[in-house]
Amino acid sequence: MRNLKLMVTGLALAGLAGCGTAYAAASPSASWVAPSSSPTATSAATSAETSVPASPSSEAPSPEAPAAPSSEAPAAPSSEAPTPSSEAPSSSPAAAHHGGPANSLMKTGTKDVALTFDDGPDPVQTPALLDLLGEQGIKATFCLVGQQAAAHPDLVRRIVEEGHTLCNHSWNHSLTLGKGSPAAIRKDLQKTNDAIHAAVPDAEIKYMRAPGGNFTPALVKAASDLGMTSIYWDLDPRDWDHPAGETDATHTARVISTVKKHTTKGAIILSHDYGQPDTIKAYRTLIPWLKTRFTLIALPVDNAL
């Protein structure tokens, strides 16, 4: 009986991680998330209507900023990804690159690696990140929260002017967006696109990422109807997770170590610019390292994946 209880507890832990508290993909072994140093057992009930469990929180974020990430119930990786290869990158097609929750995109579909940054624009961290990307000659994908885009249109313009790809990350980072009615979901995504277009009228928004990675078929369909491909991720270094007692230096080193150890060909890497100065510090080390091993890309706009 004790063994049965342990097994149930173990299953309940599998799959929780990401931007906010995200649920892992239907095939957790296909992606990797860094474990927290102090995991918490939390029940993960599966919805009969969607391919992902019910969202862990219905709390709406502050109107001034997206919801703060939760550190509860982190995922334990099902297996370790191999150390990145130094083999020269290629644009040849890879294996099927969908397979995230509700069949969202997990990989780039080539050997190239995509850096994605969520929850901005942030008035302090986003300019610092853009400066770094510019210095390194790297393009990335920015998943923008509508409220933040409306508050900082100058940064939306700069992101576009500097050649980065835009992604819709919902209006206010509601972790339960995908559980709403089709009309409510579409309204939220459209409002976010409108905020981005208020800054850059002709901006192309070809991607959508669910807050917390909480994709549902209804959310993916609404995004598709608006011309957007839904993107999950292949690697989550948990840059958003700040366990009690972890110093900035330790946090930065953990993110660097995780990305170095687990980045593989075709990876979509999840990171955050909103409120995450340690992430910017980490990428000052990571981008030069990644450039020697992979081709770093923004997700394509002309032919969205």
Q: Rounded CA gap, 213 and 175, in Å? A: 8
Which among 272, 248, 270 has a CA at the least distance from the CA of 122? Answer: 272
Which among 152, 169, 173, 272 is annotated as catalytic?
272
154 in catalytic set: no
Helix (H) / strand (E) element for 32: namely strand 32-33
Sign, CA dihedral 123-22-74-305, equals negative
Q: Rounded CA gap, 293 and 297, in Å? A: 13
Which among 118, 188, 239, 241 is annotated as catalytic?
118
Which among 130, 150, 148, 149 has a CA at the least distance from the CA of 140? Answer: 130
Most distant CA pair in the chain, distance = 61
Q: What is the rounded (10 degree) CA torsion for 176, 74, 253, 235?
A: -60
List b or e across 204-233, with b for residues whose CB sees 16 or more CB atoms inside 10 angstroms.
ebbbbbbbbbbbbebbbebbeeeebbbbbb
Instruction: Count other C-beta atoms under 10 Å from residue 268's C-beta.
Output: 26
272 in catalytic set: yes
Q: So which residues are the catalytic ones? A: 118, 272
